[in-house]
Each structure stands twice: as C-alpha cells, then as structure tokens.
C-alpha cells in the first residue's frame, strides 16, 4: 500500500539528540522572547515576539510532531488550516479597519483627476 | 465470503481494525484523521485569535494596560513547563517506537501529566485566583473604581481581560482533556496494548498534546507581552 | 466496473444475510458500527426534525394569510421563524445528504468495507441526537426569538429566551458534523478499492469530499462563536458587548464565516446526487467529468471568501463590501459550469422519466433560478433594496428546497432499492414529485414578487396590498406539504410490500450497484476491482447493459 519506508508500521524514529536539541532551542527562544520584551523596540516588539513564536511552532511541528518526516498530504493539511485562519483574519480586518475610511465624495468622476495627480 | 475466511486465518497485528486492509493503512488513516481534527482546533481557537486581533488593532491602549496587569514570570514559567511536557511526550512515544518496556513508556507519560498538572496549578493559584482577589476578573466584580488612572481606556481593559480569561480558560480546558487522554494511555500501556509495531494511539495523542502546547506558545507573547515590558511601556 | 464472478441476474433478496437482518434487537442498532445502519438511524432522526421545522413553517404561513396576522402574536411569530430556520438549517439540511446517503454510500461507492472510523461514526450519531435533544428542549422551553442568525446585542443582552440551550444544541450537532466530515475525508483518501483512482470516483464522492472540507474548516468557527455568545449571556460580559468596546459586527463576521459555506454544505451533496441521476437516467457518460469535479472543489474553496455579502447593509465598510461583492459573483461560476455540464449530458441521451430523474430535472431548473437571483443580492446597489425582504427568502428557498431538498428526495428514491432491497411504486413517486414541483413554485415564486415590492421578511404583519400574493404562497405551501407526505406513505409501504429489487434495478453504473440489495454487512460479497471510468455507459442508442 505504501512506498514510503518511514511510514511503515514503525514510523521514523527520531534520535534522542534531536529531541534534546529542539527542546533546548525552544527554551532559548522562550528566554529570548521574554528578554526582548524588556527592550524598547517600539512596534518591532510585536514583530519580534510573533517571529519567535512562529519559529517555536515550527520546531514543535517539524520535530516533535514528526511533520518533517511525514507525507506531503500532512503538510498540505496543516498549511490549509493556517491559510483558512488567515482568510478569516484578513477579510475580517478588511472590514474592521476600513470603517473609518471616507468614501470619495467625487465618486467615479473623481477617479480621473486622481489618476492625473498620480502621473 | 471467501475473503472473510482468509482474513481470519492469519494472525492480526496488535490493535488491528477490520475495516482496514493492513496496519500501514490503519496508521496512515489514524494520523490523517488526527491532523484533520487539529485543523478544526486551529479554526476553533482561531475564531478567538481573530477577535483578539481585531480588538487589539482598534484599542491597543487598553490592551497594553491589561497586559501589564499580568505577571510575566508566571507566563514564562508555564511556557517552559509546557515545553518540557512536549519533550517528555515525544520521549514517551519514542520509547514505544523503540520497543522499550511498559515501565519506561508509563514513566514518560506520567512525567508529562505532572508537568501538565503543574501548568494548571500555577495558572489557578498564581494567576486566576489572585486576579479574582484583585478585581480584574471581568463582570460585575471588575474594579473600575480602583483604577482611575486607566481613564478612557478602562472599558477596553475589561475587554482585554475577557480575552485573557476566555483564551486561557479554553486552553486550560484542552489541557484537562489532555490529562484525561494521558490517563487512558497510561492504563492502555499498563495493559500491554502497545508495542513497537502498534503505538498509534500514543502517536496521535502526542499530536494533540503538542498542539495544545503550540496554542500556549502563541498565547504567551500575545497576552503577556503586549506593548513590551521596558520602562515607559 | 468489472468484478469477478458477480451474478447480476438472480439473487433472491430474502435468502441472503444482509446488513438489515444480520442481527436483531434494539441493541444491535444502538451499538452498531455499520455505516449503513448508522445512515438509516440518521434518516429517522432528520425526518423527525424535518417535521418539526415543517410545523413551524406551517404555522408561519397560516399566520401570513391575513395582513394583521391570522394566528399568532408577533412575539410568537419571532419564535416560529427562528425555530424554523434553526431546525431546518442545523438539524435537517446540513446533515441531510451527508449523514444519510453519504454514510450509506461512500464505502460502497469506493469499494470499502466501512468508513475509516466506524466507532467515531456512531459517536457522531449520538452527538447529533444529543444536539437535537437540546434543541427540542429549547423549543419546549418557549423557543428562541433571535432568528437563526443569533445577532447580538439582542441575543446576548436583551432576549429572554433559552438562547444558551439552543446554542448548546447547535454546538453539539456541529461537533457531530465535524467528526462526520473528518471520517469522510480520511475514508476517501485512504480506503478506495484497487483501481479506484481519484478520477474514476463517482462525482457524488467528489461532492461529498468537498462538503467534508467545509465541515472541517468552517464548523469550528460557528462553534467558537456560539460558545462566546453563550459566555456573554451567562457572565453578562463578553467580547460582543458594546459597553466594553465590543463590535456586534464581529459576531456577524465570525457567524457568517461558517454560515455562508454552510449553505454550500447544503447544496454540494445534492449536486453530487444530480450528477448520478442525470447519468443513470440518460444512460450517458457525464459531460465534463473533471470540470464538475474541480467545480465542486472550487465551490468549497471560494465559499469561504464571500461571507460579507450577508452584511452589506448592517454596517460593514463599503470597501469590504466591494471585495465581497466581486467575490460573490465569482462563486456563481463553478455552479453554472455544473448546470451547463448536466444539460450537455442530457443532450442525445436516452432519457427516461422515473421519479429520481424528475427530481433531478426539477433541481436543475429551480437551482438555476435560485442561483441567478443570488446575483441580484450579490450586487451592492440592488441588495440595498432587496436585503431584508422576501426576495432573499425566495432566493434561498429556491436553492435549499427547489435545489437541495429535491436532490435529497431524488437520491432517496434512486438508492431506495439498494438500501431496502425493495422497489417503491414509481407511479406514486412521479405524482408526488409533480405535486412537490407545483406546490414549491406556487409557494415561493410569489415571494420573489412580494419581496421585490418591498415586503420585509421576519414580520408577522404586512401591508394589505400584499395579501393576494401571501395567500397564494400559503396555498402553495399546503400543496407542497401534500407532496412531502405522499412519499412517507409509499416508501414505508414498500419496505414491507415492495417487489424485490435485485442488485441493479436501474441498470446504473457504480460499485454500489454491483453488490446485493440490501448489501451484506461487509458490503461486497466479491472484493471489488475497478478497471473502468465512472459512468461508462454504452453509447447512446444501444440498449441497456
């Protein structure tokens, strides 16, 4: 049924060393994100925190959850889940953040002078 | 009918279910099924994350004040605790994969449970209960009158605390369910249900446990570290 | 599909051990893990829920005979339309084809012994029944009056009806559908018979696969939304509360993120049924197999990016409205592709008009009308006028009743002989189908007119000048009710007295028609091996194989 040797009844066995290394990396990243919060980076604090969180997630997903050694189908399923979450967030924000935008009073006729202004 | 007779004649692998053709198909199906379930969990928590992102964009001031009401040391400690529990869970599965004794698998599972329970104890005794005493639990006991310095941000501080309790509460609920699942796994291991040939329930429960860890990996910075913790933030 | 030595001409139904008589007693049903029995148990429960929803509709239409309301007070009317919507959407249409025909047929159509997770399948049924129990309890406690859409702040802060209980029922039923969708996706990926490649699958399977994707990706969001609404009602504080900066429109975003794809959950399986019926009753290969297969997937994907068209007039920003409007036009395209392909399949086919085909043909016409009227609503400017009127009500009933429900009935009739081993009387079935068609149009076409003229929906009273159209609609509803009642009678009759059907009474292609009727518990007496494409009928003009 399967040509993937690592998907046999045994599955791919990850060496203990890899698990320990991932664990240490996760602990370091936790310390890092906590530490960076005490440094003033302005709005980049949020970017740093989220980047570190995504890195930690990838370590857990790829190594602890064995996705690095898994079928392509598994990877598609995971990406689809996050992509759909992204749709929900993006389109909701497209409404919530644009409520205050002024509707151009000139309507479509204002488009020509606007383009003129651009070029 | 003839198929049935041939079916019964050869010894079935441990834990084999009849609707499948072979153990490989069964393992692949179980893993795919658990990943599909985790996708539903991404969308389930995702609804709250979406709402959080919307309100944080609109009312950042209130969210910063609210975030500073939380103690980073407890959040960070709990993050470390959960990362340890993910390691012990991965090692429990590895023990089964490599044919270690029941005792070895059970030890790692119980260690995972202890760490999970530690998380919940820290949450409840060091965070939620003191929050209740300090009147920052949303609802009729929410103490606006204690904190006039919040000014116009005050309603949004309560909104942040709603998110804090709802999101960590839902996460804690998933931890409790996880502890239940781990208990069942300990019992199943003790009854010799697993071997290096068949350990699928361990593997897919591990996926669930790691997922709950990942949710916390995001909750920690998003709830505890908003606006930074540097002087003047 | 060629199989080994299957003898299709004389299998006495009574003498074989099949899934119905393999074991007896209530416990053998309540603890079954056989997908076929579970499908039948779902059929019983959703038929019961349909009658509850139907009673609510009956009372509504009786009330609307008079402009001042003939039957109930406005407060009661609010509870009636809410109950009708909630029951019909969450407890009838969403599970209808997937849980009954899907459960029964998917393993048979792909050549498997059962679904991937049979015990999970049974759990799904119990969860569904529990959800129904909570919903019925909520109705008996007075019913909710928030509409099936539960918009806050009314539902969170002001309504004095059992919102939490009803929401809990929907939450649990939603969990049931998530598990069903998960089961189907894994089954279709992992348990196809040898030779059953993806592009040899019946289009019913493609349709249910696409539906299952929506179950998995969409349902959790309604779950968390109702959960948050429940928390707000219980704790009197929550994230939709304007007093703490909450935005009621955020609820609508989260609600419709599921509820729009949900309407595609309700129509996609029916489209899958229609693909099966059109090919079987024109004895012809489907025109454009891969177009229909990919259209099913496209509908599932695009359905997730159009939800804002429900919010054009509730306060959403104009710019978001523009985006959602364009996307809503695009989502119509794959559906239209399917209609063109079905029509092309009919061309030069050898068409016969048994009841399932009548339902399929009715589907194509009525779904097209429903779909086209959706474009009126997708367009921002016309939606301002039409939103909140009976035009919307007519639009979605053309799709849900003229489309989804007729596909469901067509499918029930088509696979009835496989499910029960007996044939129903086709003459009565054709009469009932005609009555349904006539009654349906008489009920809902006037609603397009009266909505366009401005009659609002969800109102117990209306201006006197709309009375004629309302009376027409109510009269049509009584005809429609007769049309639904007749199949209950002859289908029940046929279970005892109908003639034995044999393996393949319709001469149709598909693995399910190669096994016995009713099938044995493990589905196939001879393990299937697939060597040909789907719908491999002989060319038009040849007599049936």
- pLDDT tens for chain C, residues 1 to 545: 444 444 444 444 445 789 999 999 999 999 999 999 999 999 999 999 999 999 999 999 999 999 999 999 999 999 999 999 999 999 999 999 999 999 999 999 999 999 999 999 999 999 999 999 999 999 999 999 999 999 999 999 999 999 999 999 999 999 999 999 999 999 999 999 999 999 999 999 999 999 999 999 999 999 999 999 999 999 888 999 998 899 999 999 999 999 999 999 999 999 999 999 999 999 999 999 999 999 999 999 999 999 999 999 999 999 999 999 999 999 999 999 999 999 999 999 999 999 999 999 999 999 999 999 999 999 999 999 999 999 999 999 999 999 999 999 999 999 999 999 999 999 999 999 999 999 999 999 999 999 999 999 999 999 999 999 999 999 999 999 999 999 999 999 999 999 999 999 999 999 999 999 999 999 998 889 999 999 999 764 444 44
Chains B, C: CB contacts under 8 A, how many? Answer: 117
Q: What's the pLDDT score for residue B227?
A: 87
Question: Using H for helix, E for strand and C for coil, what is the string for chain B?
Answer: CHHHHHHHHCCCCCCCCCCCCCHHHHHHHHHHHHHHHHHHHHHHHHHHHHHHHHHHHHCHHHHHHHHHCCCHHHHHHHHHHHHHHHHHHHHHHHHHHCCCCHHHHHHHHHHHHHHHHHHHHHHHHHHHHHHHHCCCCCCCCCCHHHCHHHHHHHHHHHHHHHHHHHHHHHHHHHHHHHHHHHHHHHHHHHCCCCCCCCCHHHHHHHHHHHHHHHHHHHHHHHHHCCCCCCCCC
Residues of C with CB under 8 A from a CB of B: 112-118, 120, 178, 181-183, 185-186, 189-191, 216-221, 223-225, 228, 231, 235-239, 243-247, 250, 253-254, 257, 522, 525, 527
Question: Which one, of B86, B190, B168, lies nearest residue B123 by Cα?
Answer: B168
Query: Domain range for residue B202?
Result: 20-224
Contact B43 C114 (CB under 8 A): no
CATH for B214 = 1.20.120.80
Are residues B96 and B196 in contact, defined by beta-carbon separation less than 8 angstroms? Answer: yes
The pLDDT assigned to B149 comes to 82
pLDDT score, position B101: 92
User: Within a domain: residue B233?
Assistant: no
- At residue C500, φ and ψ (nearest 5 deg) are -60, 140
What domains appear along chain C, each with residue ranges and CATH number? 27-514 (1.20.210.10)
Q: What is the pLDDT of residue C4?
A: 41
Residue B98 has pLDDT above 90, yes or no: yes
pLDDT in tens, B48-76: 999 999 999 999 999 999 999 999 999 99
Q: Which residue, C51, C30, C46, is CA-closest to C132?
A: C46
Is B11 part of a structural domain of the chain? no
Q: What is the pLDDT of residue A9?
A: 42
The reply to whether residue B47 touches residue C225, judged by beta carbons under 8 angstroms, is yes
ipTM exceeding the 0.90 mark: yes
- Going by pLDDT thresholds of 50, 70 and 90, the confidence category of residue B144 is low
The predicted structure's pLDDT at residue A116: 75
Inter-chain touch C237–B162, beta carbons under 8 Å: yes
Task: In whole angstroms, give the CA distance from residue C38 to residue A43.
Answer: 55
Neighboring chain C residues of B144 at a CB cutoff of 8 Å: none
* Least confidently predicted of B3-17, B135-149, C228-242, C320-334: B3-17
CB A18 within 8 A of CB B91: no
CB neighbour list of residue C91: distance below 8 Å, 6 or more residues apart: C46, C49, C53, C131, C132, C135, C173
pLDDT of residue A107: 67
**Residue that the structure tokens 């009500």 belong to:** C393
Which residues are within 8 A (CB) of C271 and not within 5 positions of it... i.e. 6 or more apart? C207, C296, C335, C338, C407
Coil, helix or strand at residue A4: coil
pLDDT at C380: 95
User: Does residue B39 contact residue A78 with C-beta atoms inside 8 Å?
Assistant: yes
Other residues' Cβ atoms within 10 Å of the Cβ of residue B144: 12
The answer to the question of residue B196 being in a domain is yes
Chain A residues whose CB is inside 8 A of the C319 CB are: 94, 98, 101
A75-86 residue pLDDT tens: 999 999 999 999
What is the number of structural domains in chain B? 1
pLDDT in tens, chain A (119 residues): 444 444 444 578 899 999 999 999 999 999 999 999 999 888 899 999 999 999 999 999 999 999 999 989 999 999 999 999 999 999 999 999 998 887 766 666 666 776 777 76
- What CA–CA distance (Å, rounded) separates C36 from C115? 10
Q: Are the beta carbons of C189 and A96 separated by less than 8 Å?
A: no
Q: What would the mean pLDDT of B107-126 be, rounded to a whole number?
A: 97
Q: Decide if C245 contacts C72 (C-beta within 8 A).
A: no
With beta carbons less than 8 A apart as the criterion, state whether C142 and C180 touch.
Answer: no
- Kindly state the DSSP code that residue C4 receives in the 8-state scheme: S
Please tell me the pTM assigned to this model. 0.93
Interface of C with A (CB under 8 A): 189, 217, 221, 247, 249-250, 253-254, 257, 304-305, 307-308, 311, 315-320, 323-324
How is chain A split into domains, by residue range? Answer: 1-70, 72-119
Partners of residue C389 on adjacent β-strands:
C456
What's the angle, vertex CA C358, arms to CA C353 and CA C364, rounded to 5? Answer: 125
């Amino acid at each position: 049924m399967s040509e993937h040797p690592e998907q046999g009844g045994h599955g791919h066995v990850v060496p203990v060393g890899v698990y320990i290394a991932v664990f240490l990396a996760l602990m370091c990243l936790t310390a890092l994100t906590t530490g960076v919060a005490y440094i003033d980076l302005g709005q980049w604090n949020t970017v740093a925190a989220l980047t570190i969180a995504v890195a930690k997630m990838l370590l857990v997903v790829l190594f602890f959850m064995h996705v690095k050694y898994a079928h392509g189908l598994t990877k598609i399923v995971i990406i689809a889940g996050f992509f759909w979450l992204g749709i929900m967030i993006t389109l909701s924000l497209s409404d919530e953040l644009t409520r205050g935008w002024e509707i151009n009073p000139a309507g479509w006729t204002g488009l020509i002078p606007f383009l003129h202004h651009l070029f | 009918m003839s198929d049935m007779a041939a079916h019964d004649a050869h010894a079935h692998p441990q834990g084999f279910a009849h609707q499948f053709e072979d153990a490989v198909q069964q393992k692949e199906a179980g893993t795919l099924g658990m990943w599909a379930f985790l996708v539903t969990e991404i969308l389930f928590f995702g609804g709250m994350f979406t709402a959080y992102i919307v309100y944080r964009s609109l009312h950042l001031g209130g969210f910063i004040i609210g975030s500073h009401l939380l103690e980073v040391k407890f959040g960070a400690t709990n993050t470390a605790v959960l990362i340890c529990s993910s390691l012990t869970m991965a090692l429990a599965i590895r023990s089964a994969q490599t044919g270690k004794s029941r005792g070895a698998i059970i030890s790692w599972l119980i260690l995972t449970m202890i760490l999970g329970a530690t998380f919940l104890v820290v949450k409840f005794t060091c965070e939620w209960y003191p929050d209740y005493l300090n009147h920052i639990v949303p609802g009729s006991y929410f103490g606006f009158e204690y904190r006039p310095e919040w000014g116009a941000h005050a309603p949004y501080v309560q909104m942040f605390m709603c998110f804090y309790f709802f999101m960590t509460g839902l996460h804690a609920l998933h931890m409790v369910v996880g502890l239940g699942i781990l208990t069942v796994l300990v019992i199943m291991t003790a009854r010799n249900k697993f071997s290096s040939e068949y350990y699928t329930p361990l593997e897919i429960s591990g996926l669930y446990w790691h997922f709950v860890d990942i949710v916390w990996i995001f909750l920690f910075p998003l709830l505890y570290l908003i606006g930074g913790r540097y002087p003047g933030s | 599909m060629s199989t080994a030595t299957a003898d299709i001409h004389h299998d006495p139904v009574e003498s074989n051990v099949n899934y119905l008589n393999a074991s007896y007693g209530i416990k053998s049903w309540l603890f079954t893990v056989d997908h076929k029995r579970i499908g039948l148990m779902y059929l019983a429960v959703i038929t019961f829920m349909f009658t509850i929803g139907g009673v609510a509709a009956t009372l509504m239409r009786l009330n609307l005979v008079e402009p001042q309301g003939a039957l109930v007070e406005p407060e009661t009317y609010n509870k009636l339309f809410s109950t009708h919507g909630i029951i019909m959407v969450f407890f009838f249409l969403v599970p209808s084809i997937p849980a009954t025909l899907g459960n029964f047929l998917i393993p048979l159509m792909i050549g498997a012994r059962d679904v991937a997770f049979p015990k999970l399948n049974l759990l799904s049924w119990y969860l569904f029944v529990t959800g129904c129990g909570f919903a019925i309890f909520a109705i008996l406690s007075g019913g909710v009056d928030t509409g099936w859409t539960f918009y806050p702040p009314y539902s969170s802060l002001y309504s004095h009806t059992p919102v939490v209980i009803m929401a809990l029922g929907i939450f649990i039923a939603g969990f049931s559908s998530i598990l069903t969708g998960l089961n189907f996706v894994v089954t279709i990926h992992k348990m196809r018979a040898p030779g059953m490649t993806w592009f040899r699958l019946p289009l019913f399977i493609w349709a249910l696969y696409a539906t299952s994707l929506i179950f998995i990706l969409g349902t959790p969001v309604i779950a968390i939304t109702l959960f948050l609404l429940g928390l707000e009602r219980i704790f009197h504080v929550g994230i939709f509360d304007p007093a703490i900066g909450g935005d009621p429109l955020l609820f609508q975003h989260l609600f419709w993120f599921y509820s729009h794809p949900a309407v595609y959950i309700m129509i996609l399986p029916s489209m899958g049924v229609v693909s099966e019926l059109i090919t079987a009753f024109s004895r012809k290969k489907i025109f454009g197999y891969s177009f229909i297969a990919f259209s099913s997937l496209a509908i599932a994907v695009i359905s997730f990016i159009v939800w804002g068209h429900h919010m054009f007039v509730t306060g959403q920003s104009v710019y978001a409205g523009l985006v959602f409007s364009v996307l809503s036009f695009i989502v119509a395209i794959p559906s239209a592709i399917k209609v063109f392909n079905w029509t092309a399949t009919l061309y030069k086919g050898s068409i016969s008009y048994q009841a399932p085909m009548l339902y399929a043909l009715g589907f194509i016409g009525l779904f097209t009308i429903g779909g086209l009227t959706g474009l009126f609503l997708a367009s921002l400017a016309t939606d301002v006028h039409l939103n909140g009127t009976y035009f919307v009500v007519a639009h979605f009933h053309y799709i849900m009743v003229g489309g989804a429900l007729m596909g469901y009935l067509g499918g029930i009739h088509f696979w009835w002989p496989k499910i029960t081993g007996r044939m129903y009387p086709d003459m009565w079935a054709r009469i009932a189908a005609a009555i349904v068609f006539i009654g349906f149009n008489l009920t809902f076409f006037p609603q397009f007119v009266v909505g366009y003229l401005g009659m609002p929906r969800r109102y117990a009273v209306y201006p006197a000048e709309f009375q004629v159209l309302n009376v027409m609609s109510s009269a049509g509803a009584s005809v429609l009710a007769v049309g639904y009642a007749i199949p209950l009678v002859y289908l029940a009759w046929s279970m005892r007295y109908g003639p034995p059907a044999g393996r393949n009474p319709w001469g149709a292609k598909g693995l399910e028609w190669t096994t016995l009727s009713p099938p044995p518990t493990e589905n196939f007496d001879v393990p299937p091996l697939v060597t040909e494409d789907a719908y491999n009928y002989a060319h038009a003009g040849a007599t049936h194989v």
